[in-house]
Amino acid sequence: MEKTLYFQVEEYKERLRKTQQRMIENGVEVLIATDPANMNYLTGFDGWSFYVHQCIIVMADQEEPIWVGRGQDSNAARLTSWLREENIRPYTDDYVQSLIKHPMDFVSDIIKEKGYDNKIIATEMDTYYYTAKCQERLALGLPSAKFKDGTNLVNWVRIVKSDMEVEYIRRAARIAEKAMEAAFKSVDKGVRQCDAAADVYHAQISGTKEYGGDYSAIVPLMPSGIRTSTPHLSWTDEPYQDGETVILELSGCYRRYHCPLARTLIIGDAPQKVRDLEAVVVEGLSNALEAVKPGVTCEDIERVWAKSIAKSGFIKDSRIGYAMGLNYPPDWGEHTASFRPGDKTVLQPNMTFHMIPGIWLSDFGVEISESFRVTENGCETFTNYPRKLLVK
């Protein structure tokens, strides 16, 4: 069966080697990874199958992981992963959403078969698709094993990108620019919010002439009016009104790699209070980006932002950015480093982040963001879109 791999097999093997090294450093002999992004990162596996239980089993002393998933998804593993046939282990459909059997029973049987049932086993206990029942059934099926929390173990390996990963994010950036321009053209007085969102979706998926887009891990976030006072609302079927503020937080996605981009748009004349807040956000964002370079910490960057906005009397009590890249719904963030007080992660070249220092007040908010790569002496912003309030 012909495979579709987005990276060379050697790159997957290097990722595996780094993961196994981190496992050893943390006293882990077996890792059960259920995060779809981590499964993709280590094997290439790519499918909308994460609504049922699936995982890869990574053993610290083996040359390949083992993929475990639903039988009807096994050909997806054959098509998209670099794994050999013997390491693709599908379970039958009587395990799916059963009250009697559970896919983690099947995983336990494989681990016992391989002789790893008395080892130190890490599971991703705080990921979206790993349930309390998963852990319960593994503990029941592997009574001699010692369990550890392996949450984010692979994520920290992922934080420094390869050159090819960076190139995929650059392509996602071109799609993000196109999606933002579609939003700018579509959002207007009298236009239904849902129709503007549909145009954004079309731009995200059609991509560019050179390459098409993928589905983004987060839907277009497009609140308007008073709904801009909170960041995570999408759209309604109501028409836009003259004078409304609209937040546009979108992303391009290419081969599961994201480039988020946020801007704020005003329909008609922008109220002075919105223009004043925009000036604060843009200045703070620009200052923070100028401070990015290898060797500084995430909290150092946040301090620059906090000092900048303090001049205007603002305090922001939430993080202003996070590592991002490869992911699946419901998030494009990597759940590792964040720009906030106390995060002492040291920036390195080819780390990639979404800096989104939005400020939300009681009746409106302003979001303007940039995604960027840490370079050898500064940062490379991925998109080229006006860093200012957009006015129709």
Query: Which tens digit of pLDDT belongs to each residue from 28-58?
Result: 999 999 999 999 999 999 999 999 999 999 9
The pLDDT assigned to 125 comes to: 98
Measure the CA angle with vertex 256, ends 126 and 40; round to 5°: 55
Cα–Cα separations (whole angstroms), residue 162 to 111, 167, 183, 257, 350? 32, 9, 31, 12, 7
For residue 222, with 0-12 CB atoms within 10 Å meaning exposed, 13-18 middle and 19 or more buried, which class applies?
A: buried
What token pair was written down for 377?
A: 């002496």
In CATH, which superfamily holds the domain spanning 161-391?
Answer: Creatinase/methionine aminopeptidase superfamily (3.90.230.10)
Count of CB atoms situated within 10 Å of the CB of 144: 8
C-alpha separations of 201 from 205, 209, 216, 310 in Å: 6, 16, 9, 37
Given this model, what pLDDT does residue 265 score?
96
Residue scoring higher pLDDT (354 or 2) = 354
Residue 318 CB coordination number (10 Å):
12
Q: Is 303 helix (H, G, I), strand (E, B) or coil?
A: helix
pLDDT for 365 = 83
Q: Give start and end residues of each alpha helix (H) in 249-392.
A: 272-290, 298-310
Looking at domain 9-158, which of 3.40.50.2300, 3.40.30.10, 3.30.390.30, 3.40.350.10 is its CATH number? 3.40.350.10
**Number of separate helices (H) and strands (E) present in the chain:** 10, 16
Nearest to 103 by CA among 58, 69, 135: 69
Predicted local confidence at residue 273, as pLDDT: 87
Mean pLDDT of 50-72: 98
- For residue range 293-344, list pLDDT tens digits in order: 999 999 999 999 999 999 988 778 889 999 999 999 999 999 999 999 999 9
- At residue 206, the pLDDT reads 98
Mean pLDDT of the chain: 96
Q: What is the pLDDT of residue 270?
A: 80
Q: Look at the block and give the residue holding tokens 């984010």.
A: 152
Q: What is the pLDDT of residue 231?
A: 87
Q: What is the pTM of this model?
A: 0.96
pLDDT recorded at residue 360: 81
Mean local confidence (pLDDT), 72-84: 98
Tell me the percentage of the chain whose pLDDT exceeds 70. Answer: 100
Q: In whole angstroms, what is the distance from residue 194 CA to residue 187 CA?
A: 10
pLDDT bin (cut points 50, 70, 90) of residue 26 is very high
At residue 363, the pLDDT reads 80
Per-residue pLDDT band for 81 (boundaries 50, 70, 90) equals very high
CATH 3.40.350.10 placement within the chain: 9-158
Residues of the chain with CATH 3.90.230.10: 161-391
Q: Give the pLDDT score at 312.
A: 86
Output phi, psi for 263, to 5 deg: -145, 165
The pLDDT of residue 2 is 81
> Each residue of 193-233: pLDDT tens digit?
999 999 999 999 999 999 999 999 999 999 999 998 888 99
Query: In the structure encoding, which two tokens stand for residue 85, read together?
Result: 């046939």
Task: Check residue 361 and give its pLDDT.
Answer: 81
Q: Which stretches of the chain are assigned E, i.e. beta strand?
A: 30-33, 55-59, 66-70, 88-91, 120-123, 146-149, 245-254, 257-266, 321-324, 333-338, 352-355, 359-360, 365-366, 370-374, 379-381, 390-391
Sign of the C-alpha dihedral computed for residues 65, 336, 11 and 212 taken in this order: positive
Model confidence band, residue 70 (pLDDT cutoffs 50, 70, 90): very high
pLDDT band of 16, cuts 50, 70, 90? very high
